[in-house]
A and B are shown apart, each in its own frame.
Chain A
Amino acid sequence: MEILRYAIYRFGTMLLTLLVVSVLIFVIINLPPGDYLSNQIAELRASGQSSGVDKAEFLRKEYALDRPLWQQYMIWMGFMPGPHGFSGMIQGNFGWSFEFDRPVAEIVGESLWLTVLVNVAAVLFVYLVALPLGVLAAARSRTWVDYTSAFVGYLGLATPNFLLALILFYYGHKYFDLPIGGLMDPAYEGEPMTWEKVKSILIHLIVPTFVIGTSGASAMMQRLRANMLDELGKPYVETAIAKGMAPARMLTKYPLRVAFNPFVADIGNLLPAMISGSVLVSVVLGLQTIGPTLLTALKTQDMFLSGFVLMFVALLTLIGTMISDVLLVMLDPRIRYEERKR
């Protein structure tokens, strides 16, 4: 019951937080001078094209960009009727993207699962590489195993992602005939899932996964190694070894579980990272994820699109922290929600 009450309370604060976030997002997006359409008009004039200007003027009126900022916000959220009646976020209308000239919902919907796919692949890669290496480095600390894995890890962390990507693309194409950029052969785009298509996606995933993964893996490795070393110095470990427990079993049975605690708390951050992770890498590698879309939208001040994506990520972050909080309560008896002392 305690938990249920807590969850309801959290849900209430979540909605409030979202409201505040929405105001912040809207203000920040509109901080740079101008808006998408006035910039577009300037751009058209700069290249001597007067023909598109009237279209942009029309859109300004249609989407109420000619009104004061607070009204634009209210219309966007749906608290106030726009030029064609109420239709904002609350009414389920996420707005229109000027840059892509399509409804925001369509753009986000399309790239969402690809985004999740890329980031899940990267996270899996990180876990598969970092966990064994981190444990090994801790168990064999200050040996060549430790130093080599640290060296490789730092190399992965230090090489700029885009450079690594270009190098891998160039040589991957040259020697293994790997495709350059993209997430699938364009021929499969919009086609139903077939074995061939899956294969194409997997082949295209090799380089991005590796590039995104290397930087994440080394950080995780070092953290795990540090946590493990903390644990390994504790008396119960010595006791276990003295009693003749097999080292490998001993490692995984206690110290690893304790060292793993922080990673459970991290689950909350995984959710938003699934959407907003690896933005820059996606831009460089030309992946059709939400990242490049968001970056373009922010750069061109395509406010409905960037606003929605940011709101979405904010929502996921809140849900994620809520999940991890609840999980931690269930997992760790030491954590309790005290009644607030007044």
Chain B
Amino acid sequence: MFNLRSSLKTLATGAVLAHALSLAMASTALATPAQLIESGFWEQEVQSGDLPPVAERVPEVPLIVDLEAKGRRFGVQGGTLNTMVTRSKDIRQMVVYGYARLAGYDETYQLQPDILLDFEVEDNRRFTLKLRPGHRWSNGDPFTSADFEYWWKDVANNLLLNPTGAPDYLRVDGALPTVSFPDETTIIYEWAAPNPSFLHSLAQASPPFIYRPSAYLKQFHADYADPEKLAEEVDYARVKSWAALHNKLDNMYKFDNHELPTLQPWINATSGKKIRHLFVRNPYYHRVDSKGVQLPYIDTVEMEIVAGGLVAAKTNAGEADLQARGLGFRDIPILRKGESDGAAYKTYLWGNGTASQIAIYPNLNVNDDQWRQVLRDTRVRRALSVAINRAGINKALYFKLAKPGAMTVLEASPFFDPALREAWAQYDPELANQLLDQAGLSERDSYGIRKLPDGRPMELVVETAGERQEVENALQIISDDWRDVGVKLVMRPLDRDILRNRVFSGTTMASVWYGWDNGLPQTYTSPAYLAPTDQVFLSWPKWGQYHQTGGDVGEAPDLEPAQRLMELWHAWEAATTDETRTKVWQEMLKIHADEVYAIGLVAAAPQPVVVSNRLRNVPTKGTWAWDPGAHFGIYRPDEFFFEDGKG
């Protein structure tokens, strides 16, 4: 272990040494803790002069965390956290867990400045971002507005690097912002029309990084680099152009270039693709606890890439200190068994952030005329919904631990209303039969299956991504429920990408996916995903395409409630008060509950989170959500620590 650590550090300090240390004296601002404590991990490097002392490494105004005020314990530095992922590209999870963002959410989903010292917003059009003076990249380069300028001028708007021009998420009504950089620590983004989602998009699990380490990347940019050296580098990397090289090296989210400086709490210290990736503490990280200990508490993170099916077995064998990824509801028994067999971990059951664990999406844009007409009939969708015995599914598949109900937001959202969860979610085959009869599907064949108006039997083909056993089990149960009301369900497992492409092209009649990704909307969350704005809501692929392409492909929404959803979304965009926004949200959720665009089955299924007995500050109750939440991100893994710093 010892030699490993030193070789790691040479890797990391190599980058630190890369530039001359010309440090401005850190003026101890009011907020700094009286005494910053040097980390044991970097002690040697500091003593040998390879690394400046901690007081010079943190920004002049670090972000100070009072853990006791948060109801957590002050920790000690040290230890190695073991965790597992299932694909080699999942090392990006360290950027998700690390969750250092310009502005990020806290545990109550409120936006707080994080990397930024502060931000100012003027009527959602003009955003002034203030950086922390003296903030540095993980290799010691100063982090200033020049890094934002480099990205905006030399990356986003460079047609060789981005053939399609500046990215879409910065366009409001097609117009790009004007961006200015008045001084070293100020960046101003200004749009003509309001862009209320701008700061929130920066707080995502996978945020758009509107800055790049310019000092490092300029050596790969044709406008700055020495042409001969650059040609050599391009050749060496076996790519075809300097643009390809630059695009390969500047992935701040992919985290796959260990030489790329970062602002995250842990730096990638493993080059290339390995089975085990090591991440070491960022000596320049901007967060400090109020006792003067620089975060993160944990020195190194070891991330091992294992086959998906083995995560539970390996966790059960005690090989992970913190693990939720790759574990699902069905693994809880084996995890509990490991506990009772004396493994040194606990299994917490967290909530789940998606609006529904399983939801069936009838495709309102299916190519088959007859089916399209049938599925567009609200009565049919309601019938299919009330024909399902959700309590039975919850009992059979989730040991009654999930919450049966229609698809709507979760309790943690201010818009939660129990009536919406119960809407058309009761088990009532009687009613389902009535509704289907009213919808003109009363003819049945000799097997008792209803006939479509054109005489074909009512066989609804439901396609799945074929990734989750629980979906297939649920559909088995539903196929019996639906048979009772004269509808035959045919299940077709496909592959994720193929399923999407089939839905987008209108081939699929109905598909299964999770409910809305974000089941925890707050007043500031844009309700765009409730309106037909995007093909990824699998019930209206063509309406979504129509909006996404400005009417080039797809179809305009031609059902009144869907049009109303569009209007409401625009109303939200134009809204100025939280009151109006809340009203909009409530009405949109009500439309979804009435219209049953997606048939939700159960919500809030527990997500097992395995935590080592020595690991502290991990909340026993939390929500495992991608956005907002960044999985562990909003719970700040940089504040987790090992008892006595040994792990």
Q: Which residues of A contact B (CB under 8 A)?
A: 32-34, 39, 42-43, 45-55, 57-59, 61-62, 83-84, 87, 96, 99-103, 162, 166, 169-170, 173, 180-182, 186-187, 189-190, 283-286, 288, 292, 296, 299-301
Contacts and interface: CB of A to CB of B under 8 A. Distances in A.
The 5 closest A-B pairs by CB, nearest first: A286-B307, A186-B276, A51-B208, A50-B169, A39-B497
B70 interface: no
Contacts of B201: 50
B167 interface: yes
Nearest to B1: A187
B204 interface: yes
Interface residues of B, number: 62
B310 A101 contact: no
Given A48-B627, A51-B207, A83-B240, A190 B274 contact: yes
Given A51-B209, A180-B319, A181-B306, A57 B164 contact: yes
Nearest to A173: B317
A162 B206 contact: no
Contacts of A162: 309
A318 B115 CA distance: 59
Contact of A47 (B306, B505, B626): B626
B501 A292 contact: no
A239 B310 CA distance: 57
A187 to B, nearest CB: 7
B241 interface: yes
Q: Is the interface of B mostly helix, strand, loop or mixed?
A: loop
A50 B207 CA distance: 8
Contact of A50 (B208, B272, B501, B627): B208
Contact of B241 (A34, A46, A62): A62
Contact of A187 (B207, B276, B307, B314): B276
A301 B497 contact: yes
Contact of B307 (A39, A53, A181): A181
Contacts of B162: 54, 57-58
Contacts of B536: 42, 45-46
B169 A61 contact: no
B164 A84 contact: no
B131 to A, nearest CB: 20
Contacts of A42: 497, 500-501, 504, 536
A39, A83, A283, A296: residue with the most chain B Cβ atoms closer than 10 Å = A39
Contacts of A284: 307, 309-310
B256 A189 contact: no
A87 B495 contact: no
Contacts of A296: 87
Contact of A57 (B163, B169, B276, B502): B163
Contacts of B273: 100, 102
A180 B314 contact: yes
A182 B306 contact: yes
Contacts of B168: 50, 53
Contact of B317 (A49, A84, A101, A180): A180
Contact of B314 (A43, A57, A101, A181): A181
Nearest to B309: A284
Given A84-B240, A169-B313, A45 B534 contact: yes
B275 A288 contact: yes
A170 B89 CA distance: 27
A96, A101, A166, A187: residue with the most chain B Cβ atoms closer than 10 Å = A101
B128 interface: no
Nearest to A169: B313
Given A32-B497, A162-B309, A58 B238 contact: no
A30 to B, nearest CB: 13
Interface in B164-181: 164, 167-169
B89 A100 contact: yes
B310 A181 contact: yes
A58 to B, nearest CB: 6
Nearest to A102: B273
Contacts of A32: 495, 497-498, 501
Contacts of A286: 306-307, 309-310
Nearest to A87: B240
Nearest to B314: A180
Contact of B313 (A49, A50, A180, A299): A180
Interface stretch (B26-34, B243-251, B434-442): B243-251
